[in-house]
Amino acid sequence: MKSFMKEFKEFISRGNVMDMAVGIIIGGAFTAIVTALVDSIITPLIGVICGGIDFAKWGVQVGEANIMFGALIDAIIKFLLVAFTLFLIIKAMNKAKELKSEEEAPAEPEPVPEDIQLLTEIRDMLKEKK
């Protein structure tokens, strides 16, 4: 039993498990932000542009059952908006990261002029003769 607990403790304390846990928590918080952005700002703007259409209430009645296909349309639209918003945010973050890495990249050394290179070779050859 102690061996099992020791293995479990090692598994939990591994860096990749902890990184995954942090990623899931941050992802959940980020999802809430993006969803709020879509629900509070983008969807109302689209509603104004489309004349206030509310797909969620669209449906048909078959016998006693209400088939609310509008809710599916609404969910698809919200998914696409969330995905597109997330795409734009990640694209901006990648661009910022790319610019930062370009600034941090060490400059390539300037090539040594040919005359200096020849003088260096001559100096090295003279050192070898001595």
Whether 68 and 12 map to the same domain: the answer is no
pLDDT given at position 112: 82
Domain boundary among 50, 66, 91: 50
The rounded distance, in Å, linking the Cα atoms of 56 and 70 is 5
Whether 22 and 61 map to the same domain: the answer is no
Whether 8 and 29 map to the same domain: the answer is yes
Domain boundary among 9, 30, 50: 50
User: What is the domain count for the chain?
Assistant: 2
pLDDT given at position 2: 76
Q: What is the pTM of this model?
A: 0.50
pLDDT given at position 103: 72
Per-residue pLDDT tens, the chain, 130 aa: give them.
778 888 877 777 776 777 788 888 888 888 888 778 877 887 788 778 877 777 777 888 888 998 888 888 878 888 888 788 888 888 998 898 888 877 776 767 788 888 888 888 888 888 888 7
Whether 28 and 68 map to the same domain: the answer is no
Whether 58 and 81 map to the same domain: the answer is yes
Enclosing domain of residue 114: 54-130
pLDDT given at position 105: 66
Whether 59 and 123 map to the same domain: the answer is yes
